[in-house]
Amino acid sequence: MSLDTRRRVIIRAAARAFLIGSVILAVALGSLPGALAQTGFDRLHQSQTPLTPEEIVSSQIEQLSLEDLDTFVRALDPNVREALPPLDLKRMIFEGEGVEWGALGARIARVFLDEVSLNLSLLGQLIVLGVFCALLKTIASSTRSSEVAGVAVLVSLLALLYLALSAFRSVVATASDTLDQMVGFMLALLPVLSTMLAAVGAVSTAAIFHPLLYATVTGIAALVQNVLFPLVYISAALAVIGSLSKEFPVKQFSGLLRSGTVLILGFAFVAFFAVVQARGAIAPIADGLAMRTAKLLTGAFIPVVGGRIADALDVIVGGSVLIKNAIGVFGMGAIVVITAFPIAKIFSILTIFRLATALVEPIADERLVQAMAGLSGSLTLLLAGMITAALMFFVGITVVVGVGNATAFIR
């Protein structure tokens, strides 16, 4: 590396450090959401007694605006809200009471079992009607003029299909509601996370990630809601219609739609991961270096109090890391909880569909089996879409939290 380039690199790093340093100073001296740093710094400046980390973190939390998040949590379904970890950052940080994953898992398992027992009547209806159809078909085929009998069997098939379709419809409504909820939650959480990211010192990371995550969250939601779900619905409708009439076979088309959905889902997933990981690998290092330089400059160039300010900077950043991680954990828990209940419901209905199809297949009409298999295939896709979206949101939060930590550690 030539001397010239090296000088340029040093100048650039210094400029960057100056920028970051001034931002942090501005944050420390008031204004912006970053006012959270103010209280701790002021007190440190005025009183000569050392501050405890608890006090700094508490005063930071007090300044942090969680209103959006709080409003959102309060608007949730009471059942979901109960399972949610309490949005009490102080307790999460000082007492280590985060999300109780074990209790959460037990609760989800219970909900799943509840849903299964609730929908067991559906299973019973499907099987009994399927058996009736089979019986009537054998009786009806004993009469010679089987055309009328064929119509009668078709009608009983219709009754069965209607049952299955109404269950499917309720699932569709649940899935779509849940997606809306997830997106609403992410949009409420992201500003808070970005604020904390900036407070940790990862200013450029926050600048990159905030719009990136906003775009991906809304993009994923739009993709799933407007492209994937309609594809799934169309394939389900085609499966039902195609099974009703032998003269209008659309089985392949329905299958095509389904594999298209899977392809799009997989592609979106891979693209999301690639983008988020690639961004997450570079930005925090730069931020960390800038932070380090800022600390160095503060300590070296501000006379008298410089060293103390640099130390205060350290403590405040550490507190911000704690808060950010607590919010991240809360967010992850919330995403899990918000999705877990609907997924349990969908999964229970899917299980029942599959079970009913399997049990009825040896006796029932092949058309019925085909329609049921099509419906349960679509349900599986619906489930996959929801889980993928939830996973992407989950990973998004994890990456933001992790990126902030990387910045803080490099410091």
Partner 1 sequence: MMRVVGLGIVVSVLLTVIRKDIPPIGAQVAAAFVVTALLMLMEPLAGVVRAFAELASGAGVRTVYLALVLKAVAIAFITSVGAELSRDAGEAAIGSVVELTGKVFILLLAVPVIAAILDALVSLLPG
**Residue 169: closest CA among 389, 346, 354, 388:** 346
Say how far apart CA 123 and CA 117 lie, in whole Å.
10
Task: Report the number of secondary-structure helices (H) and strands (E) in the chain.
Answer: 13, 0
Q: Which is nearer to partner 1, 103 or 158 (CB)?
A: 158
- Interface with partner 1 includes 262 (CB under 8 A)? no
Dihedral sign for Cα atoms in the order 167, 170, 175, 176: positive
> Residue 96 region, left (φ>0) first, then alpha (ψ -120 to 50), else beta?
left
Asked if 95 touches partner 1 (CB under 8 A), the answer is no
- 10 near partner 1 (CB under 8 A): no
Based on the shown chain and the rule CB under 8 A, indicate whether residue 240 belongs to the binding site for partner 1: yes
Q: State the minimum distance, in angstroms, from the CB of residue 192 to partner 1.
A: 34
> Which of 32, 33, 125, 310 is in the footprint of partner 1 by CB under 8 A?
125
Q: Which of 39, 58, 60, 156 binds partner 1 (CB under 8 A)?
A: 156
Burial class (CB in 10 A: 0-12, 13-18, 19+), 264: middle
Do 404 and 281 contact (CB within 8 A), yes or no? no
Using an 8 Å Cβ cutoff, are 54 and 90 in contact? no
151 binds partner 1 (CB under 8 A): yes
CA 99 – CA 112 distance, rounded (Å): 20
Please identify, among the stretches 89-97, 155-163, 188-196, 389-397, the one whose residues bind partner 1 according to the rule CB under 8 A. 155-163
- In angstroms, give the least distance from the CB of 131 to partner 1: 8
User: Does residue number 222 form part of the binding site for partner 1 (CB under 8 A)?
Assistant: no
Residues 169-208 as x/- pattern, contact with partner 1 by CB under 8 A: x--x------------------------------------
User: Among candidates 177, 163, 195, 174, which has minimal Cα distance to 69?
Assistant: 195
Q: Which residues bind partner 1 (CB under 8 A)?
A: 121, 124-125, 127-129, 132-133, 136, 139-140, 143-145, 147-149, 151-152, 154-156, 158-163, 165-166, 168-169, 172, 226, 229-230, 233-234, 236-237, 240-241
